Amino acid sequence: MLGIGTKNLGIDLGTANTIVYLEGKGIVLREPSVVARNTKTNEVISVGSEARDMIGRTPESITAIRPMKDGVIADYDTTVAMMKYYINKALGNTNGKPYVMVCVPSGITEVEKRAVIDATRVAGARDAYVIEEPFAAAIGAGLPVMDPTGSMVVDIGGGTTDVATISLGGIVSSRSIRMAGDKMNDAIVQYVRQHKNLLIGERTAEKLKWDIGSASLEAAEQMGTTEIRGRDLVTGLPKTMEVSAKDVSTALQDVVENIISAIKGTLEETSPEIAADVIDHGIVLTGGGALLKHLPDVIADATKVPVFIATDPLDCVAVGTGESLKSIDVIKK
């Protein structure tokens, strides 16, 4: 037993969402990785979904910050403030400091990793350890990571898409690209601006992606249109407009193609044995980006390998990070 009386935590510190797993209990908290601060005093005003609703709507005295960018810490102090809040919330009124396992994308530098460990300690951990995100995702998705068989997992989050093949308890080959859900939202904002002369916010773009975005242009033809609101670039006035699923999906193509290239590249680097295992078991998708409509079909079509979405794709990394708390004893020795 570690830290008698105190339960340990697994934290998925994502670019879009932070998810906390409490040892012995499971996931206890899921919140957007957003903090609202007073611009003058720096005081934290709110954290999580309340802060997210403020994005794009703040007066001068408040700023809503997403402290993680592309899978790494972009704003150290705000990350610490956010983690402190979530650690306290997850632990409730138990005493003592927890050991904390945090996941990090596979491609990050030692300095970026160090920053995550330091931030977690400052936020209240007795000590902090990191686990590579694709490995955690694979554990959370229930893949046989310890077996002598190759598995492939593709985690599509807000900031990064992490692709990895895993066998015998380790990552065999991996790629991390800074192209995922956020870039999809940006692409929609750009597209609507260029082709419709309408300026829309990040949240409106994200909602469009969820509602009528598709990885397949062909499928998008059958999906109809929806109404959006923004600011007309010509008149400068608010405006309502129809946008089609085809428009949204056209905007998404570039990011989807980049994700497919990363998967193909990783497959090309794997040994014939692991490639054969992947054909047998298929590719498993995790992360919120896995929910983009028709993404599994499009990836399967491009790679000729079956593709599945993990159960509860948004939770996989947190569950895997939490389950790996069991090995903290081993890591410490």
Element (H, E) at 19: strand 17-22
Pick 104 or 317: Cβ nearer Mg ion: 317
Under the binding rule (CB under 6 A), the answer on residue 106 touching ligand ADP is: no
151 to 180: interface string for ligand ADP, x by CB under 6 A: ------xxx---------------------
Of the candidates 10, 14, 48, 98, which one interacts with ligand ADP according to CB under 6 A?
14
With beta carbons less than 8 A apart as the criterion, state whether 170 and 148 touch: no
Under the binding rule (CB under 6 A), the answer on residue 10 touching ligand ADP is: no
State the residues that interact with Mg ion by CB under 5 A: 14, 157, 317
Give the strand order in the sheet containing 44-47. 44-47, 35-38, 62-65
With beta carbons less than 8 A apart as the criterion, state whether 176 and 259 touch: no
Pick 16 or 298: Cβ nearer ligand ADP: 16
Cα separation, 279 vs 216, in Å, equals: 22
For ligand ADP, which stretch binds (CB under 6 A), given 38-46, 168-176, 194-202, 284-292? 284-292
Pick 187 or 328: Cβ nearer ligand ADP: 187
CB of 66 to Mg ion, least distance (A): 14
Among residue numbers 289 through 308, which ones bind ligand ADP (CB under 6 A)? 289, 291-292
The DSSP string of 90-144 is HHTT--SPPEEEEEE-TT--HHHHHHHHHHHHHTT-SEEEEEEHHHHHHHHTT--
Q: How many residues does the chain have?
A: 333
Residue in this structure with the two tokens 């899921």, named with its chain if needed: 30
207 to 246: interface string for ligand ADP, x by CB under 6 A: --xx------------------------------------
CB atoms within 10 A of CB 84: 18
With beta carbons less than 8 A apart as the criterion, state whether 29 and 19 touch: yes
CB of 79 to ligand ADP, least distance (A): 13
Under the binding rule (CB under 6 A), the answer on residue 287 touching ligand ADP is: yes
Q: How far is CA 18 from the centre of its chain?
A: 9
Pick 16 or 47: Cβ nearer ligand ADP: 16
| Sites of contact with ligand ADP (CB under 6 A) | 14-17, 157-159, 181-182, 206, 209-210, 287-289, 291-292, 314
